[in-house]
Structure 1
């Protein structure tokens, strides 16, 4: 009797599962269609792609410009990136406050885009270390607010459309995927420009891209008065952060962000100086992951609704450890192309699910939880810039890959050892402010 009940339950479970999948497919189509009809959303997608292409023109070749073109040592380049990143954090934070209360996002985006245009015109011709450091810290510091402002504008546009709150994450994830899509063409196109016109041409083309962005911002976006939000009581997180499970996650994500930043700086040097590749090989290496990130983001995003996100995060960090372990032994550029699929998989998880993963720590304070995640990314990137300069100069580019593997392995072990306990689940329901 018990077996027949189990069989019957299983049958209805399978039937209901198939039905739910059909409903999910229909919801997927309906949701996408509804989101694309939101006013300004399509214009924002276009801006998102243009911002992504402009960024992908520059970031993959930063280390080649600083070390090979300007003549910085690896250590001085690491210091250069660290200082400009720290100054950029302060500037972008200030701009974020202005955009939330005093000025419209369209006005901010106009200023940001003009600043990016000026920065890359200057980058095309300046080769003095300290002048470049000023340009990178000030003008690019302002320009770094571009994508966050576009993202914030999109979120407000979705909010004005009165989209149900449960559909908001999908709308923003869809928006983020177009940024990833832009990286499928940007680095490869930049490699072509770099080979034909050198860094001067590369930066002038990037500057022209920002002029196009400026045109679209002025033409298609509207001025929406910022809504004055009610002042909130500051949240004190000191006691919360030092809890073993939370601290372990913060530490792990700092390691993950450091490894990602180090790899971004190291990859061009590793390909050209260790594997004796060209700028074209660099462009292809950076263009391949975004192609796979898009289906991975969709797949892991749907999977995150079915299983605990902490399991997926551990899977992502484990894949990252395998990726860097294999990368240590490659001896030709084409071998990197194959394993970049692993890079796409782990980035889709650690970047795509990370925000909602952190928001689960403080369900009643999603803004604070998101800030925690962003801070780990900023701290990790800053540490990564310095470590790249030091390790690559005194040891070598392959040793930098080993460092990334160690960071990911340690992060995986930390996430594996520190798990949620009953007390965490109980206290999670309480207000975190202390």
Structure 2
């Protein structure tokens, strides 16, 4: 009798715990680097405003391009684990070089190559998690994805203060050295704890499929456009908040930190709660409710007379973020059940694209008043809600 002597994959729960550690390390690496990227370019690299702008545009565009290509490739062959290892090593190399190199053109080349490849670690980790969860209990897949997304959010709660400490202690070499170490830990975890998953079966596009087929390209395009509209206010609102408080509400700009901290504190339990709620309530209904909360929050913020009103409104803002960022991944994944890599990448790409759209809107608000930023955010959320209603998948 033949005996299978191939190494067996570790149980699903330990692999999910290992994935949680990957999300924690990746979240920490991005959270210590991103808040001070502009400061790094201007003070350490001595880049002028034009070069800083070029860098901040090229980096996310390269990330979107590389993530799209990798997302398509990952669904065709059983190579997702190798892609995770490659992305983590690229991040370690990119941050390691950045810790010592101060030549603008070398750093720009790194941003368009190694750093862009490192950004694929985030969507590919979610795609890997989706395939694991689908094997066991698909009805709890959204809950598992939301929980892992919460781990990433926790990293962003601790990351910026840690980054400030590292910058004060050892400068940008220590900041980027720590980020490189986090990527290296992620590579070790994937290598030692995660087994390869088989390529998912691909189902044919069929907008009227009762349960398992992919939606049409038109429905998918509208859904991605809707999430882009919903992601843009997230960046716009954060960038405009200290300016709104300081120049429109007569408060101290530092109050923005308190308001944002309150939002983060509410966002994490809401993300977990909404994830658990997906086992009882339809995912689409929760996402639509989140978009509606976003429109309500930005409307209230545009008319807020005092800082404390903004503080109270963070309940709605946190629900909006938890629903869109926490459940949006699962929502798009369910539209493409046979393509978790492509689906996750389509969703995660909406954030950098939305962030790029937020820049010109913030510049316009600087001329016309920062309440306009929140009024624009309300319109974008309402538009995203309408597009999601129109793009209803027929199941």
Report TM bin, short chain. Answer: 0.7 to 0.9
Number of the residue aligned with 2:87: 112
Deviation of 1:317 after TM superposition, in Å, equals 3.0
Number of the residue aligned with 1:145: 120
Partners of 1:320 and 1:343 within 8 A in 2: yes
Number of the residue aligned with 1:396: 366
Partners of 1:318 and 1:409 within 8 A in 2: no
Instruction: After superposing the two structures, state which structure 1 stretch, 369-378 or 41-50, moved more.
Output: 369-378
Under a length normalisation based on structure 2, what TM-score does the superposition of the two structures give? 0.73
Structure 1's 405 and 253: CA in aligned 2 closer, same or farther, altered over 3 A? farther
Deviation of 1:260 after TM superposition, in Å, equals 2.3
Number of the residue aligned with 2:193: 221
Deviation of 1:116 after TM superposition, in Å, equals 0.9
Partners of 1:194 and 1:201 within 8 A in 2: yes
Q: CA RMSD in A?
A: 4.5
Number of the residue aligned with 1:294: 268
Deviation of 1:114 after TM superposition, in Å, equals 1.9
Select 1:378's aligned residue among 327, 345, 349: 349
- What SS does the aligned partner of 1:185 have? helix
Cα distance in structure 1, aligned partners of 2:241 and 2:96: 25
Cα distance in structure 2, aligned partners of 1:158 and 1:417: 29
Instruction: After superposing the two structures, state which structure 1 stretch, 88-97 or 374-383, moved more.
Output: 374-383
Cα distance in structure 1, aligned partners of 2:243 and 2:51: 15
Structure 1's 382 and 102: CA in aligned 2 closer, same or farther, altered over 3 A? same
Partners of 1:184 and 1:288 within 8 A in 2: no
Question: How do residues 162-173 of structure 1 correspond to structure 2 at under 5 angstroms?
Answer: 162-173=135-146
Q: Does residue 25 of structure 2 align to residue 53 of structure 1?
A: no
Cα distance in structure 2, aligned partners of 1:356 and 1:313: 10
Structure with bigger gyration radius: 1
Question: How do residues 34-433 of structure 1 correspond to structure 2 at under 5 angstroms?
Answer: 38-66=13-41, 70=45, 77-101=52-76, 104-159=79-134, 162-218=135-191, 220-224=192-196, 226-228=197-199, 233=204, 250-263=224-237, 288-304=262-278, 312-324=286-298, 340-357=314-331, 365-367=336-338, 375=346, 378-379=349-350, 381-382=352-353, 384-385=355-356, 387-388=358-359, 390-392=360-362, 396=366, 399=369, 402-412=372-382, 415=385, 419=389, 428-429=394-395
Deviation of 1:134 after TM superposition, in Å, equals 1.3
Structure 1's 370 and 321: CA in aligned 2 closer, same or farther, altered over 3 A? farther
Under a length normalisation based on structure 1, what TM-score does the superposition of the two structures give? 0.68
Partners of 1:106 and 1:221 within 8 A in 2: no
5+ residue gaps, structure 1: 1-35, 430-434
Cα distance in structure 2, aligned partners of 1:203 and 1:270: 32
Q: Deviations over 1:144-181 (max 9, x none)?
A: 1112233333334445xx52322333233333322222
